[in-house]
């Protein structure tokens, strides 16, 4: 069903919560969102009432299950973004980026901090959506983190990408310890906001594979990798 997933997420509902309101099962909602079957006319009307779906709209901007859960849980507590950030031990910009849909997947430790502060765990089906969205087949999950917040930096082997304020990838790097590599960048003139605004990474233990993927990504980004260009081929 067109726009169902995006409209559900923007309404702050998990698949299970919407299923309860419509009187169906969570797998049924999942199937509708994947185009595997359609709701009845009565169910369509109910969905439109619950979600405010505009069937005349051509599209709905991509929505973030993580953002929907966090903003809903925070507002239920009556907290501002800075209040939540303080209680969870994360930075306010990190929370803003999550709720704006920029950060779409979190390191497990960061999510655990937010869940403890809110006393609210992300619904299982919503967490599954987040995981599926970030999954790179055969490698694992791509996770977002704040490159300027040392405790959030992963002290593990992997590939990392740095983005500027407009979410353009500007640097691709690899290392046996991503945190240590980022520490090296701190002395560089460009490693500051808004040039480096956000980051994501994926765990890859094999040294050769990391270097191959790093080279491939830099070649793919070409001139968009405005800082790290050592492997860009010029034609």
pLDDT tens-place string over residues 16-43: 989 998 999 999 999 998 889 999 988 8
Q: What secondary structure letter does DSSP report for 147?
A: T
Closest CA to 162 of 205, 194, 204: 194
Does the model's pTM come out above 0.75?
no
The angle that helices 26-33 and 15-22 make with each other, rounded to 10 degrees, is 110
- Alpha helices per DSSP H over the chain: 4-10, 15-22, 26-33, 41-51, 65-77, 81-88, 92-99, 108-118, 124-134, 178-185, 207-221
Spans in the chain with pLDDT lower than 70: 1-2, 53-62, 166, 222-235
Q: What is the pLDDT of residues 178-202, one digit of tens each?
A: 999 999 999 898 999 888 988 999 9
What is the model's pLDDT at position 63? 76
Query: In whole angstroms, what is the distance from residue 18 CA to residue 9 CA?
Result: 10
What is the model's pLDDT at position 216? 87
Query: In whole angstroms, what is the distance from residue 224 CA to residue 91 CA?
Result: 28
What is the model's pLDDT at position 180? 96
- Indicate the length of the chain as a whole number: 235
Domains of the chain (ranges, CATH numbers): 4-51 (1.10.260.40), 65-134 (1.10.260.40), 146-224 (3.40.1440.10)
Pair 205, 157: CB distance under 8 Å = yes
Query: In whole angstroms, what is the distance from residue 175 CA to residue 81 CA?
Result: 33
Question: Which SS3 state, helix, strand or coil, does residue 141 take?
Answer: strand
For the beta carbon of residue 209, count every other beta carbon within 10 angstroms.
Answer: 14
Q: In degrees to the nearest 10, what's the CA dihedral of 116, 145, 98, 117? A: 10
Both tokens of 31, joined, read 């199937």
Query: In whole angstroms, what is the distance from residue 160 CA to residue 169 CA?
Result: 10
What is the model's pLDDT at position 77? 94
């Amino acid at each position: 069903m067109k726009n169902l997933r995006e409209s559900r997420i923007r309404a702050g509902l998990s698949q299970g919560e919407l299923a309860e309101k419509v009187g169906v099962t969570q797998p049924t909602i999942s199937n509708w969102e994947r185009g595997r079957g359609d709701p009845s006319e009565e169910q369509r009307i109910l969905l439109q009432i619950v979600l405010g779906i505009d069937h005349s709209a051509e599209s709905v901007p991509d929505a973030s299950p993580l953002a929907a859960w966090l903003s809903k849980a925070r507002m239920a507590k009556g907290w501002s973004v800075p209040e939540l950030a303080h209680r969870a031990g994360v930075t306010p910009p990190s929370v803003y980026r999550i709720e704006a849909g920029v950060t779409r997947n979190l390191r497990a430790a960061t999510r655990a901090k937010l869940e403890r502060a809110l006393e609210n765990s992300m619904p299982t089906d919503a967490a599954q959506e987040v995981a599926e969205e970030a999954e790179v087949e055969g490698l694992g999950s791509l996770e977002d983190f704040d490159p300027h917040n040392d405790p959030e930096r992963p002290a593990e082997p992997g590939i990392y990408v740095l983005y500027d304020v407009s979410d353009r990838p500007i640097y691709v790097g690899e290392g046996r310890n991503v945190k240590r590599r980022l520490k090296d960048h701190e002395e560089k003139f460009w490693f500051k906001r808004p040039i480096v605004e956000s980051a994501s990474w994926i765990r890859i233990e094999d040294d050769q594979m990391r270097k191959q993927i790093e080279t491939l990504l830099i070649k793919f980004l070409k001139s968009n990798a405005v800082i790290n260009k050592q492997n860009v081929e010029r034609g």
